[in-house]
């Protein structure tokens, strides 16, 4: 895709905070997170279904999951100072949108990475939260090298 012009201002003036606190990026990222999570969860549940039936599902990823993932990946420096849980989740979404719009990572790569990091029984709410936190933590660790250091 060729949508880098949507982040050319951020690429001209690259900084952790400029990218991590951009509200528009967070809105686009919200869409990427929810779509990739829904497809990844459908794939995982289909591949691990003892009845061999296909499962299609969708899920909004909770802000608390993204917040904890950002902390676990040690990337709170991308968020604004005195950020609350909602701000931290927005930062995760902004970072994912940034690398996606920059063609650093594709929708498919995000989906595949999430699927690889899922484990256990995703029908169990607590196990799903644990799996989702681990998956987004590893996604953040993966994209860290494509983000500015300052």
Positions in the binding site for a copy of itself (CB under 8 A): 1, 3, 5-9, 22-28, 30-32, 34-36, 38-39, 42-43, 46, 53-59, 97, 107-108, 111
Nearer to a copy of itself, 36 or 131 (CB): 36
Residue 6 near residue 73 (C-beta atoms within 8 A): no
Of 5 and 82, the one with the shorter C-beta distance to a copy of itself is: 5
Query: Which of 142, 140, 37 minimizes the C-alpha distance to 94?
Result: 140
Place of tokens 């256990």: 120
Tokens 């719009």, residue located: 101
Distance in Å, CB of 55 to a copy of itself, minimum: 7
In the complex, the smallest distance separating the C-beta of residue 128 from a copy of itself, rounded to whole angstroms, is 15
Instruction: Give min distance, CB of 9 to a copy of itself, in A.
Output: 5
Helices (H) and strands (E) in the chain, counts: 7, 0
């Amino acid at each position: 895709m060729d949508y880098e012009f949507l982040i050319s201002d951020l690429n001209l003036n690259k900084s952790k905070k400029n990218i991590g606190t951009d509200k528009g990026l967070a809105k686009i990222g919200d869409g990427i997170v929810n779509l990739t999570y829904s497809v990844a969860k459908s794939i995982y549940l289909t591949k691990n279904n003892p009845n061999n039936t296909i499962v299609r599902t969708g899920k909004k990823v909770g802000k608390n999951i993204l917040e904890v993932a950002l902390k676990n990946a040690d990337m709170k420096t991308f968020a604004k100072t005195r950020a609350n849980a909602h701000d931290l989740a927005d930062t995760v979404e902004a970072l994912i949108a940034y690398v996606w719009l920059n063609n650093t990572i594709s929708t498919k790569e995000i989906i595949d990475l999430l699927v690889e990091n899922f484990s256990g029984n995703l029908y169990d709410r607590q196990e799903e939260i644990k799996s989702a936190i681990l998956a987004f933590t590893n996604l953040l660790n993966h994209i860290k090298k494509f983000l500015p250091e300052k």
